[in-house]
Amino acid sequence: MRHLVKRVAIWALAGLGLASANNVQAADLDYGKPGDPIHLVVGYQPYYSEAWSGAVINGLQLWKKYLPAGSTVEFHVGLQGSIVVNSMLAGKASLGYLGDMPAIVATTKRSVADLRIIANIGLGHDQCNVFFVRKDAPQFTDAKAAVTWLNGKTVASPKGSCADRFAQAVFQKTKTAPSAYLNQSIEVITSGFRVGKIDGAVLWEPTASRLVAEGLARRVASGYNFDEPDGAFLDARADLIKQRPDIIKAWLETELDAELFLANPANAVKVAELLKAQTTGFTQKELWQAEFGAYPASSGGGPVRLTVPFGFSQNALALIAKDTAFLHSIKSIDAEKLADDAVLPGYTTEILKTRGLAIPVGEIKAAPETAFR
């Protein structure tokens, strides 16, 4: 895991340097003609459970059913969404599985490369939005008490992430002001809890379930407690969309199959098995718990772990608008609103109509521990 983190950190720095080096838009890539075989590079996040449909596609090679014969697909791991975005901006990947914040940021970098949001692959309340306190913290009466205990204390979260947006929203709602709010990666946060350097943190699954399983910190709240949703989206380069609408449709057919597979409770253990093969540092049970396992209401658990919408509901569009406003408020992006064509719902709408399905296409209900077998 340490070696993987080091490599990904290097890729992230390289991508950030390229993305910010100048304002000259990169030339369009050449994807061939409609119907031709294609080589696709896909950035995905097996370390972010709300975007696990990409890992299902990879593990089961579902794309072979829909892409032109002779096509190949290469999956690149990103520990955080910014790494995937930078790869797409640099022309090193054409599709990206992303949390809500990086998916939005990606569409605002058109001076570097033109990226669009083409599907809503996940909506939830405790996939990215999870509060933790150190294991020797007091017992709290409710989630609000747990968060306000962090007033004047040291809290960490990866800045600019969905977890960061959630943390800041909850701090505002509860009038909580940590003495230090640190920008730390999930690996540094894990280490911080282990050695007692931080009092609290906000982060995402599956790391959240690993912290619980290893007893390094206590889960005390989630988006369920504060009516704060989280989400994940699929972004595509606009040059791919323009040149190869056949590939976009084929990939989205693949994505829909993956979401339907995820939502079938009979596949839960298989999904955890697929993720175990694509990650390091997690047990299969921790991975199952992250997406399918129930948590008590006292620690922010809810009845549904994940909704897979595929298309764009009003809730999804409202989340995008809210996140965009937050990113603008912290000066991560210049625009208060996204361009009208930043989100392209037409492809998913057409596929859903053809298949006779509606938004959402599935729902993963929280399951008891006995369901893992």
pLDDT in tens, 109-139: 999 999 999 999 999 999 999 999 999 999 9
70-101 confidence digits (pLDDT tens) = 999 999 999 889 999 999 999 999 999 999 99
The reply to whether 67 falls in a domain is yes
11-38 confidence digits (pLDDT tens) = 333 333 334 333 345 578 999 999 999 9
Smallest Cα–Cα separation from 233: which of 297, 323, 154? 323
- Looking at every residue in the chain, the average pLDDT score rounds to 92
**Are 189 and 243 part of one and the same domain?**
no
Question: 226, 246, 262 — which closes off a domain?
Answer: 226
The reply to whether 288 falls in a domain is no
Using CA atoms, how far apart are residues 167 and 155, in angstroms rounded to an integer?
Answer: 9
Task: Supply the pTM of this predicted model.
Answer: 0.91
**Are 197 and 335 part of one and the same domain?**
no
**Are 213 and 169 part of one and the same domain?**
yes
**Are 215 and 266 part of one and the same domain?**
no
- Which CATH number goes with the domain that contains 159? 3.40.190.10
The reply to whether 301 falls in a domain is no
**Are 148 and 94 part of one and the same domain?**
no
User: Using H for helix, E for strand and C for coil, what is the string for 217-254?
Assistant: EEEEEEHHHHCCCEEEEEEEEHHHHHHCHHHHHHHHHH
**Are 135 and 167 part of one and the same domain?**
yes
Residue 211, domain extent: 130-226
Residues of the chain with pLDDT under 70: 1-26
